[in-house]
């Protein structure tokens, strides 16, 4: 059974043209009406597609199996979305998936030897045992690439449709499906009036332990995030304070720490706030937890985008989904710029109060606020010493701190960022 048209659940593939061509060859290469030259040309075209895929995604080994696996892990259908993070589900859908698994099993087990002999394409072995380029792919990092190639080997070794289905379902449970299953972080894009959520291919692998000090701040952030990923009540978070103190790094560390528990992070800029409702509509029914991340958030008096954010957080008719939180970083506690003019007495006292409340109402919608202040001199020295130890800098402590103090005077003052830049400077020398 190799009829792609008989698929019921796994049917719509974004990159399914190559599968259509390969199945057509499987079914008709031996027909009397099939011209061997045309068949060979089509097979070479399919080989070209597999090789291009290997270069784009970094796949290796049996590229035909990798391609089939790629289709399966990216197929967002009723079954795969139900299984993501949760695992196996009940119901008749399992019979339909088992039907499709039998068809894909025939694709995985297909013996190409008679075809390549009949069409004279002996070089087909190249795509069945392919040594990948050691360079990272343009689409997937090595972690994701290896994950797909490993699954391809497991699916290739499966002997029954039941085993194929079980292996695939376990993958969905552990990693999820599609772009949200394979990637940690995303950014919002807008093209031709359509709002998209695109993967960020390489996110810094920072951990909370990499941030020296700020233990109470990190604990507060972890406690809120733990509650969120565990399905308990959690609050939107505002990390505010001085520049270079680790606010953005803490959010990145959270994304890395909780990825395997279904947490995903979507970065969105304030000029995109009009698209917030479209973004939420795309993620609200998924089994992941999503953090909408707004870095360096602040508004001038003439900017009105904060009104869209206020409506989404709290105050709009549609309730914010339980699987979505907002984490923001800012140098301003109240986010919207205030001036003494707002607080000056005017003839209309009520209007003055309304102006102030309007500007404070955004920050008050963040249930958790965490302050990151610049370190004092002693704390700065401790940060420098710890970063030097981690980096393998062997300067005597007195000389190290003397140079660090000279560095910070002309490079932004006392902060963790300045300390890291100083250590990087030493290591660069």
Contact 287, 85 (CB under 8 A): yes
Q: What share of residues in the chain are helix, strand, coil (percent, to 5)?
A: 55, 10, 35
* 216: containing domain: 197-372
220 vs 394, which has greater pLDDT? 220
> Chain-wide mean pLDDT for the chain?
86
CA angle 280, 262, 91 (to 5 degrees): 85
Single out the residue in 372, 388, 419 at which a domain terminates.
Answer: 372
What backbone phi and psi angles, to 5 degrees, belong to 299? -135, 140
Task: Indicate if the pLDDT at residue 97 is higher than 70.
Answer: yes
Does residue 158 sit in the same domain as residue 69?
yes
347 — pLDDT class (breaks 50, 70, 90): very low
Does residue 115 sit in the same domain as residue 204?
no
Give me the pLDDT at residue 96, please.
95
What backbone phi and psi angles, to 5 degrees, belong to 129? -145, 80
Give the residues across from 188 on adjacent strands. Answer: 197
Contact 147, 140 (CB under 8 A): no
Task: Indicate if the pLDDT at residue 338 is higher than 60.
Answer: no
Does 277 fall in a domain? yes
Q: What average pLDDT does this structure show over 88-105?
A: 94
Report CA Rg, the chain: 27
Single out the residue in 346, 372, 398 at which a domain terminates.
Answer: 372
112 vs 65: CA distance, rounded Å: 13
Does residue 364 sit in the same domain as residue 415?
no
What's the total number of domains in the chain? 3
Give me the pLDDT at residue 417, please.
87
Does residue 174 sit in the same domain as residue 280?
no
Single out the residue in 120, 145, 178 at which a domain terminates.
Answer: 178
Does residue 163 sit in the same domain as residue 202?
no
Does 190 fall in a domain? no
Give me the pLDDT at residue 340, please.
44
317 — pLDDT class (breaks 50, 70, 90): low
Does 186 fall in a domain? no
pTM score, whole prediction: 0.81
Share of the chain above pLDDT 90, in %: 46
265 vs 334, which has greater pLDDT? 265
43 — pLDDT class (breaks 50, 70, 90): very high
Does 288 fall in a domain? yes
109 — pLDDT class (breaks 50, 70, 90): very high
Task: Indicate if the pLDDT at residue 5 is higher than 50.
Answer: yes
Does residue 346 sit in the same domain as residue 406?
no
Give me the pLDDT at residue 204, please.
77
185 vs 352, which has greater pLDDT? 185
**Which residue is it, tokens 């000389």?**
399
Task: Indicate if the pLDDT at residue 110 is higher than 80.
Answer: yes
CATH value at residue 367: 3.40.50.300
Contacts of 35 (CB under 8 A, 6+ apart): none
Q: Rounded to a whole number, what is the distance in angstroms from the first to the last CA of the chain?
A: 64
Task: Indicate if the pLDDT at residue 350 is higher than 60.
Answer: no
What distances in angstroms separate CA 148 from CA 41, 64, 285, 388, one per listed residue?
Answer: 29, 12, 25, 38
Does 192 fall in a domain? no
Does residue 243 sit in the same domain as residue 273?
yes
58 vs 1, which has greater pLDDT? 58
Give me the pLDDT at residue 361, please.
62
Contact 306, 313 (CB under 8 A): no
pLDDT digits (tens, 9 = 90+) for 186-210: 999 988 889 999 998 877 788 888 8
CA angle 57, 58, 62 (to 5 degrees): 100
Does 247 fall in a domain? yes
Does residue 268 sit in the same domain as residue 367?
yes
119 vs 288: CA distance, rounded Å: 47
388 — pLDDT class (breaks 50, 70, 90): confident
Does residue 216 sit in the same domain as residue 331?
yes
Give me the pLDDT at residue 411, please.
84
Least confident of 35-44, 264-273, 298-307, 414-423: 298-307
Does residue 114 sit in the same domain as residue 201?
no
pLDDT digits (tens, 9 = 90+) for 269-279: 888 888 888 99
Does residue 93 sit in the same domain as residue 106?
yes
pLDDT digits (tens, 9 = 90+) for 230-257: 999 999 999 988 888 889 999 999 999 9
Does residue 348 sit in the same domain as residue 211?
yes
Give me the pLDDT at residue 404, please.
86
Give me the pLDDT at residue 1, please.
47
Give me the pLDDT at residue 193, please.
82
Give me the pLDDT at residue 152, please.
96
**Which residue is it, tokens 């006392």?**
414
Does 183 fall in a domain? no
Does 185 fall in a domain? no
């Amino acid at each position: 059974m190799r009829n792609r048209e008989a698929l019921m659940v796994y049917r719509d593939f974004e990159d399914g043209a190559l599968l259509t061509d390969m199945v057509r060859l499987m079914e008709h290469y031996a027909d009397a009406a099939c011209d061997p030259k045309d068949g060979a040309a089509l097979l070479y075209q399919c080989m070209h597609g597999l090789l291009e895929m290997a270069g784009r995604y970094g796949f290796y080994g049996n590229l035909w199996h990798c391609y089939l696996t790629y289709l399966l892990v990216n197929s967002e259908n009723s079954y795969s979305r139900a299984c993501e993070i949760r695992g196996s589900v009940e119901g008749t859908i399992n019979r339909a998936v088992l039907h499709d698994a039998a068809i894909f099993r025939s694709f995985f087990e297909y013996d190409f030897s008679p075809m390549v002999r009949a069409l004279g394409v002996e070089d087909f072995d190249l795509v069945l045992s392919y040594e990948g380029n050691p360079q990272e792919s343009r689409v997937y990092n090595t972690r994701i690439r290896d994950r797909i190639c490993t699954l391809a080997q497991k699916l290739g070794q499966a002997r029954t449709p039941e085993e194929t289905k079980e292996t695939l379902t376990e993958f969905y449970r552990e990693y999820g499906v599609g772009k949200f299953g394979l990637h940690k972080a995303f950014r919002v894009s807008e093209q031709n009036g359509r709002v998209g959520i695109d993967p960020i291919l390489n996110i810094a692998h920072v951990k909370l332990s990499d941030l020296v000090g700020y233990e109470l701040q990190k604990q507060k952030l972890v406690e809120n995030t733990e509650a969120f990923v565990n399905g308990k009540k959690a609050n939107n978070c505002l990390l505010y304070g001085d520049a270079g103190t680790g606010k953005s790094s803490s959010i990145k560390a959270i994304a890395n720490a909780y990825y395997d528990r279904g947490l995903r992070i979507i970065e969105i800029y304030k000029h995109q706030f009009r698209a917030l409702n479209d973004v939420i509509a795309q993620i609200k029914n998924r089994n992941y937890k999503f953090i909408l991340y707004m870095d360096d958030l602040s508004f001038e008096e003439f900017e009105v985008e904060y009104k869209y954010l206020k409506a989404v957080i709290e105050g709009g008719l549609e309730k914010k989904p339980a699987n979505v939180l907002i984490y923001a970083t800012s140098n301003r506690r109240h986010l919207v710029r205030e001036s003494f003019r707002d607080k000056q007495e005017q003839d209309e006292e009520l209007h003055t109060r309304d102006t102030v409340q309007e500007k404070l109402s955004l920050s008050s919608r963040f249930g958790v606020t965490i302050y990151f202040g610049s370190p004092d001199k002693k704390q700065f020295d401790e940060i420098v010493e710890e970063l030097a130890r981690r980096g393998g800098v062997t300067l005597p402590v007195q000389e190290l701190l003397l140079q660090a103090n000279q560095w910070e005077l002309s490079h932004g003052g006392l902060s963790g960022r300045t300390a890291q830049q100083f250590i990087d400077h030493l290591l660069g020398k």
